[in-house]
Structure 1
Amino acid sequence: MISISHENDYIQTVVFGEFTLQDYREFEQAVLYQSEFHGPVALLFDLHEMLSYTLDMALEEIKFVREHGQIFQRVAVVSSDQWVTWSAWISRLFTDAEIGMFTESDDAKTWLMEETDLNGATPA
C-alpha cells in the first residue's frame, strides 16, 4: 500500500507492506502531474514500513526513471535496508537529481527543505 501527499515543496510517498505495480503507477501519476504543472519534482520516499516489493514494480521503476529521470530535482530516500540503499545508488545512473539516503524521515525533510524553495527551485 502507498500513501502520497503533496506538501508545500515536495511530494511525500510512504510505502506500507508490499510495494506493488499498482502502487508504483499511482506514484508515477502523482510525479508526472507535479512535473507538468509545478516544475521539477522534489520527493521524499519513505520506505521504512516496506516489507517487500514485486518484481514487476521493480522493472517499472527502472523504466520510469530511465524515461523521466530528468524531472526529478532532489530525492530523499528513507530506509535502513541495505538493498534499498543499493537500489537508490543504481538509480543515480538514470537521473541527474540529487539523491540523499536517510534513516530518519525528519532528517530527509530537513535536507529537502534546505535546498528547495516554494517554487521548486534550488537557491543560488
Structure 2
Amino acid sequence: MISIHLEHNIVYTVAEGKLSDEDYDRLIPLLEEKIKSFGIIRWYFEMQEFEGWSLSAAWQDLKFDFRNNEKLERIAMVGDKKWEKELTLLMKPFTGASIKYFDLTQKDEAKNWIRKIAN
C-alpha cells in the first residue's frame, strides 16, 4: 500500500507492505502530472514495514525512472532496513537525481533535505 501527499513540486510517499500494480496505477499519473506542471520534481520515499514490489510494480517503477531520468532532481529514501539502504546505493548509477538515504529516525532531516533549495 502507498500513501501519497503532494506539495508544489515534491511528491511524498509512504510505502507499507508490498507495492502492487494498483499502487503504481495511482502513483505514476500523479508523478507525471507533477512533471508536466513543474518540469522537475523531488520525491520523498518512506518505507515502513516495507516488503518491496510485486514484479510488475517493480517494472512500472523502473520504466518510469528511465523515462524520467532527467526530471527527478532529488530522491530521499527513508527506511530502517539494511537492504533499503543498499537499494539506495544501487539506484545511484541509474538516475540523474541526487539520491540520499535516511534512517526512519531522520524523517525530519530527510524532509528538510528534499525541500532545500539547490545551491
If the length of structure 1 is used for normalisation, what is the TM-score? 0.82
Q: How far off is 1:62 after superposition?
A: 1.8
What residue in structure 2 maps to residue 68 of structure 1? 68
Runs of 4+ in 1 over 4 A off after TM superposition: none
Q: Distance in 1 between matches of 2:113 and 2:47?
A: 17
TM-score by length of 2: 0.86
Give the structure 1 partner of residue 6 of structure 2: 6
| TM-fit CA distance, 1:25 | 3.0
Q: Report the number of matched residues.
A: 117
Distance 1:32 1:93 in 2: 22
1:111 aligns with 2:113: yes
Please tell me whether residue 17 in structure 1 is matched to residue 17 in structure 2: yes
Looking at structure 2, the residues matched to 29 and 91 of structure 1 have their Cα atoms a distance apart, in angstroms, of 22
More strand as a share of residues:
2
Structure 2 unaligned regions, length at least 5 = none
Query: In structure 1, what is the equivalent of residue 59 of structure 2?
Result: 59
State the distance in 1 between where 2:52 and 2:111 align.
24
The question of whether the paired residues in 2 share the 8 Å contact of 1:65 and 1:91 is answered with: no
Residue 87 of structure 1: aligned partner:
87
Q: 1:9 Cα deviation (Å)?
A: 4.9
**1:88-118 deviations in Å (ceiling 9; x for gaps):** 222222211100100132121011122x3xx
